[in-house]
Amino acid sequence: MRRIGVFVCHCGINIAHTVDVEELTKYASNLNGVVVSKSYKYMCSDVGATLIKDSIKEFNLDCVVVASCSPRMHEHTFREVVSDGGVNPYRLEIANIREQCSWAHSDKEKATEKAKFLIRSAVAKAQLLEPLKTSNIPVIPEALVIGAGIAGIQASLDLANNGFKVYLVEKEPSIGGRMSQLDKTFPTLDCSSCILTPKMMEVANHQNIELFTYSELAGIEGSIGNYKVKIKKKPRYVDLEKCTGCGDCAAACRLKDRVTNEFDMGMGKRGAAYMPFPQAVPLKYTIDSKHCLFLTRGKCGETPACREACAQGAINFDQKEEIIEKKVGAIIVTTGYDLLDPSSLYEYGYAAPDVITTLELERLISSSGPTKGEILRPSDKQKPKSVTFILCVGSRDETQCTWCCRIGCMSALKQVYLLREKLGEELEINLCHTDVRSYGKGYEEFYRKVRGLKTNMFRGRPSEVRDMGAQQKIDIFDTTTNKLFEITTDLVVLVPALVPRSNAVDFARLLHLTLSGDGFLLEAHPKLRPMDTFVNGIFIAGCCQGPKDIQDTVSQASGAASRATTILAKKELEIDPLIAAVDEELCTGCGVCVEVCPYEARILNDKSKIAEVNEALCVGCGACIASCPSNASIHKNFTKKQILNMVDDIL
């Protein structure tokens, strides 16, 4: 006969205000199998825990029912308390009399009656609870980091320095990400490359980091502690061992300066054989198979020019795509962001050559950019005498991107500063803003500095940008002076919204990750678990989770590395036993569960013809239990018998 103890929590006034706790406690003490029934104000506190543990000892309990808040809040807490007290932690049942009772109703009498039913059914289930044991799986002390921008680089270095092997995968030919496209960073005006390249070098030389550039994730299997990943290495057609990065191939390439350079955001050109930027890591060349004449048409002059030019014989057109498999214990996703294409706000005239985005301007400012750092108008290659910034293009906009991009205001201010530096006092700089969000450390000081640089600040959003041919015309109503101004300007810089990567949906599907409403990867909890995801063992950091600046990105990256370390540092992991199991006598081997399982946790054993559960993969979603035609699929401690017992008792 079970000896059940019932503990009812007041939860301050959260429960006690709407439910008569004392009446409940008395009611519970008379239930079948209940040996003792107590109540306390805050059962989750130290005092509450002691109360439970002492009661277990005093009354020799072998099962505990706690009537309190939702199990999502404190089930974990109470399992530990119960375990501490000497009872199997899975002989615990929670009756949710807060979220499902006191918080949902206002009539005290009725609410108390309902709570009685809830406790009663919890006791009924408790009578049949099994003392489950957790099982262990071994952890592979290696990690995969997807995306080698500053977030990926930071996370990789943290993990590698902790002694774990890291596979860093990057889809571009070089690591560095968005930060490598920047000239300077706000608010310190550090040279972006100067602070980034040492880290890039560290990654390249670190004995614990294996770099896969020009590679993508092709597939993933397994679960926390034990993932099997497939990395697709795209062919560069350049032998990385032989290539010295001398550049002769690019100089000789027949398509030199004819292909749009994506690193320069389309402001410049490159050849089919190219290196994305001078400080690339690895410092090797790549041949773009989408444009290369030899690869697309089978013919490049008499013989491919690059192959002729390469003294090392590093060009190899026979290279093929390679799939490499690795086993890792944890994964960190740091895939970054894209900018909204301002064409979706056609009224801002992005179609005109002299209307550009912030990243495009950044490439003009950069000394290694297409104009070698000269600020020249795309239309006539002349220096502009007037530049106008329009902030919030597509941001905070219910018809485009509803969110704030966080970095728009500061990026624009930074570029104002740099333009003033490059083009002198004569340059007219106008900035149209809806707000100036300079929230971070040192940001307000920077904003003040820019205000002192003769920047014409207009508070308002222009309705349109008119292409007048040689110049652009913008009408803006300035709400600070209540006047309509007409700005005639040489160069318009749009600050577009930050959006998820264009392939975010497919990528998320590959990893079983959820997206939030705005399309960025969803964190497990916005305040308390910002780097975790709902897939155990996969963490996210940087802009793939939501727009943020470099310092927040680096913080998150280190945080994600720390989170990953909680897995990697263990030899084994405990598996939650509240998952599916197979009643071997009932199983007919039909295989429905195998098809239905979204986590690929079910297999049909060839020899015994009975279904099996991969305990490492099963998360206990219940799909197989619902679909098994023979009732052979059971959910441990949520069995049909246990639940029917609850129902019978209520009725």
Partner 1 sequence: MPTEQYAYELSLREILPLLDVELVDIEGFSCCGEPMKSVNQLMTLYLSARNLAIGEKHKLDLFAPCAMCHLALSECKYVLDSNPEMKKRINEMLDSEDLNYHGDKGIVHTVDLLHDYIGIEAIKQHVKKPLKGLKIATHYGCHLIRPSEIGRPVHSENPQKIEEILKALGAETAPYAQKLDCCGASLLANLPESALTKTGQKLKAIQEQGFVALVDVCPWCHKMFDSKQVKAGETVAAKLDIPVLYLTQLIGLAFGLKREKLGLELNLSPVGKLEFG
Partner 2 sequence: MSIIDLTSMGESQSELRREINERLSKLRDEISDYCFQCAKCTSGCEAHKLLELEPHKIVALLKRGLIDELVNSDVIWTCMSCFKCKERCPQRVAPVDILFSLKNLAVLSGKEIPGKYTAMLQSVLSIGLIQDVQSVTTHDGKTKKRDELSLPSISKPTDTAKFQMALSKIAMEKV
Where does this chain bind partner 1 (CB under 8 A)?
A: 346-347, 466-468, 473
Place of tokens 């007919």: 588
Residue whose CB is less far from partner 1, 269 or 466: 466
Nearest approach, Cβ of residue 458 and partner 2 (Å): 10
Q: Which long-range contacts (CB under 8 A, 24 or more apart) does 521-527 make?
A: 521/333, 521/545
Nearest approach, Cβ of residue 479 and partner 1 (Å): 23
Amino acid at 479: T
Considering only 109, 302, 318, 398, the residue that binds partner 2 (CB under 8 A) is 398
481 is a contact residue toward partner 2 (CB under 8 A): no
60 is a contact residue toward partner 2 (CB under 8 A): no
Which backbone phi and psi does 486 adopt, to 5 degrees?
Answer: -110, 120
Residue whose CB is less far from partner 2, 241 or 398: 398
Considering only 464, 572, 584, 648, the residue that binds partner 2 (CB under 8 A) is 464
Residue whose CB is less far from partner 2, 464 or 648: 464
CA 516 to chain centre: 10
- Rounded CA-CA distance 66/85 in Å is 14
Nearest approach, Cβ of residue 385 and partner 2 (Å): 23
In the list partner 2, partner 1, none, the entry touching 143 (Cβ below 5 to 8 angstroms by class) is none
Q: CB-based contacts of 623: which residues, under 8 Å, 6+ apart?
A: 596, 597, 598
Q: Is 228 helix (H, G, I), strand (E, B) or coil?
A: strand
Nearest approach, Cβ of residue 400 and partner 2 (Å): 7
- Rounded CA-CA distance 205/199 in Å is 10
Residue whose CB is less far from partner 1, 347 or 421: 347
Which backbone phi and psi does 417 adopt, to 5 degrees?
Answer: -60, -45
Would you give the DSSP letter of residue 47? H
Nearest approach, Cβ of residue 487 and partner 2 (Å): 11
Q: CB-based contacts of 118: which residues, under 8 Å, 6+ apart?
A: 67, 95, 96, 97, 100, 101
Of 429, 423, 418, nearest to 454 (Cα)?
429
The radius of gyration computed from the CA coordinates of the chain, to the nearest angstrom, equals: 31
Residue whose CB is less far from partner 2, 328 or 487: 487
Residue whose CB is less far from partner 1, 347 or 380: 347
489 is a contact residue toward partner 2 (CB under 8 A): no
Q: Is 330 helix (H, G, I), strand (E, B) or coil?
A: strand
Beta carbons of 611 and 632 less than 8 angstroms apart: yes
Residue range at the interface with partner 2 (CB under 8 A); choices 145-153, 294-302, 477-485, 583-591: 477-485
Q: Is 61 helix (H, G, I), strand (E, B) or coil?
A: coil
Nearest approach, Cβ of residue 494 and partner 2 (Å): 14
Considering only 107, 221, 325, 347, the residue that binds partner 2 (CB under 8 A) is 347
Answer positive or negative: Cα dihedral of 455, 456, 457, 463: negative
In the list partner 1, partner 2, none, the entry touching 323 (Cβ below 5 to 8 angstroms by class) is none
Nearest approach, Cβ of residue 357 and partner 1 (Å): 18
Residue whose CB is less far from partner 2, 154 or 438: 438
- Partners of 488 in beta bridges: 473
Considering only 462, 500, 542, 559, the residue that binds partner 2 (CB under 8 A) is 462
586 is a contact residue toward partner 2 (CB under 8 A): no
444 is a contact residue toward partner 2 (CB under 8 A): no
Could you give the dihedral angle defined by the CA atoms of residues 274, 277, 278 and 281, in that order, rounded to the nearest 10 degrees?
A: -90
Nearest approach, Cβ of residue 464 and partner 2 (Å): 6
Question: Which residues within the stretch 410-439 sit at the binding site for partner 2 (CB under 8 A)?
Answer: 434
- Rounded CA-CA distance 373/366 in Å is 5
Length of the chain equals 651
Nearest approach, Cβ of residue 98 and partner 1 (Å): 39
Beta carbons of 556 and 414 less than 8 angstroms apart: no
In the list partner 1, partner 2, none, the entry touching 466 (Cβ below 5 to 8 angstroms by class) is partner 1
Could you give the dihedral angle defined by the CA atoms of residues 575, 576, 577 and 579, in that order, rounded to the nearest 10 degrees?
A: -110
Considering only 206, 396, 420, 570, the residue that binds partner 2 (CB under 8 A) is 396
Answer positive or negative: Cα dihedral of 394, 395, 400, 401: positive
Site size toward partner 2 (CB under 8 A) is: 21
In the list partner 1, partner 2, none, the entry touching 346 (Cβ below 5 to 8 angstroms by class) is partner 1
Output the DSSP codes for 497-526: PEEE-TTHHHHHHHHT--B-TTSSBPPSBT
Angle between helices 71-84 and 46-59 (to 10 degrees): 50
In the list partner 1, partner 2, none, the entry touching 473 (Cβ below 5 to 8 angstroms by class) is partner 1
517 is a contact residue toward partner 2 (CB under 8 A): no
Residue whose CB is less far from partner 2, 463 or 608: 463
In the list partner 1, partner 2, none, the entry touching 477 (Cβ below 5 to 8 angstroms by class) is partner 2
Q: CB-based contacts of 346: which residues, under 8 Å, 6+ apart?
A: none
260 is a contact residue toward partner 2 (CB under 8 A): no
Question: Which residues within the stretch 349-368 sit at the binding site for partner 2 (CB under 8 A)?
Answer: none
In angstroms, how far apart are the furthest CA atoms of the chain?
96
Nearest approach, Cβ of residue 453 and partner 2 (Å): 24
488 is a contact residue toward partner 2 (CB under 8 A): no
Amino acid at 144: L
460 is a contact residue toward partner 2 (CB under 8 A): yes
Q: What are the residues binding partner 2 (CB under 8 A)?
A: 347, 392, 396-400, 434, 459-464, 475-479, 482, 484
